Amino acid sequence: MPTRVSRPSPAPLAAELLQAWAEIPTTVASDVSRGRLLVDPRIRPLRPFAGARRLVGPAVTAWCEPGDIGAALHAVALARAGDVIVIDGDGYLQSALVGEHVCGSARRQGVAGMVVNGAVRDVGPLASWPDFPVFALGITARGPISIEHGSVNEPVACGGVPVRPHDLVLGDDDGVIIVPREEAESWLRKAREKLALEEEWDRRLSAGESTVQVFNPPEA
């Protein structure tokens, strides 16, 4: 069956909301959601962010059958500037879902980055791009065997977390967070509260208080 391509059109996430989420570490988002929003921690960035701006944007989703990259090709063609392409390859690592050519095309279109629950290749170029972070489960030199199956912009599960088109994707050195679009504002409020609490911890620790005084564990 040929690749299925859907084109849902919910209201875009507000630029102010995306900018606010860019200030939230994935560790904080994971803490407030008790890990519910955190994808499989084995899906890692190919290069350290090293202080660079976090990956943040609305999701374009793709589901790829093992060995087939048809959905990845259609997802890149469909994606717009600022989007994050999320590819679920069911964790298959025996052939790459994307490499230099496919990711390079997405990068030239202004796509913000890519998250791959599967393997990628051409790691040298991909890891050298400062403006296009790529997260992947694994690496292999082997390419695909077909380009005709899968689905685009339908719900997927990436690293154990549901992802729908236009859900919010957040990524940094510690991992990837998926925030349901209708919950983005409520989770942001909780994350900001936690971030303020952590800043207060830092202030107290820097002032000389002990970890026991600041975190108040049960008496030893």
Q: Is 51 left (phi over 0), alpha (psi -120 to 50) or beta?
A: left
The enclosing H or E element of 172 equals strand 168-172
Per-residue pLDDT at 50: 85
Q: Which domains can be identified in the chain, with CATH numbers?
A: 15-210 (3.50.30.40)
Contact 181, 167 (CB under 8 A): yes
Query: Which residue is it, tokens 């090293």?
Result: 50
Residue 171: beta bridge partners?
A: 55, 176
Q: Could you read off the pLDDT of 10-65 as tens digits, one per residue?
A: 778 999 999 999 999 999 999 999 999 999 999 999 999 987 889 999 999 999 99
How many CB atoms sit inside 10 A of residue 154's CB?
16
Task: Tell which residue, 57, 48, 118, 66, has the closest CA to residue 88.
Answer: 118
CA angle at residue 21 from 19 to 27, to 5 degrees? Answer: 145
Residue 11's pLDDT is 79
Give residue-wise pLDDT tens across range 140-178: 999 999 999 999 999 999 999 999 999 999 999 999 999
> Which residues, at least 6 apart from 37, have a Cβ–Cβ distance to it below 8 Å?
29, 30, 161, 177, 178, 179, 187
- pLDDT tens for 187-219 read 999 999 999 999 999 999 999 999 999 999 998
Average pLDDT, the chain: 96
**pTM, full prediction:** 0.95
Residue 1 has pLDDT above 80, yes or no: no
Whether 166 contacts 181, CB under 8 Å? yes
If you average pLDDT over residues 101-105, what whole number do you get? 98
Buried b (16+ CB within 10 A) or exposed e, 124-133: ebbeebeebb
pLDDT for the residue 7: 87
Q: What is the pLDDT of residues 108-146, one digit of tens each?
A: 999 999 999 999 999 999 999 999 999 999 999 999 999
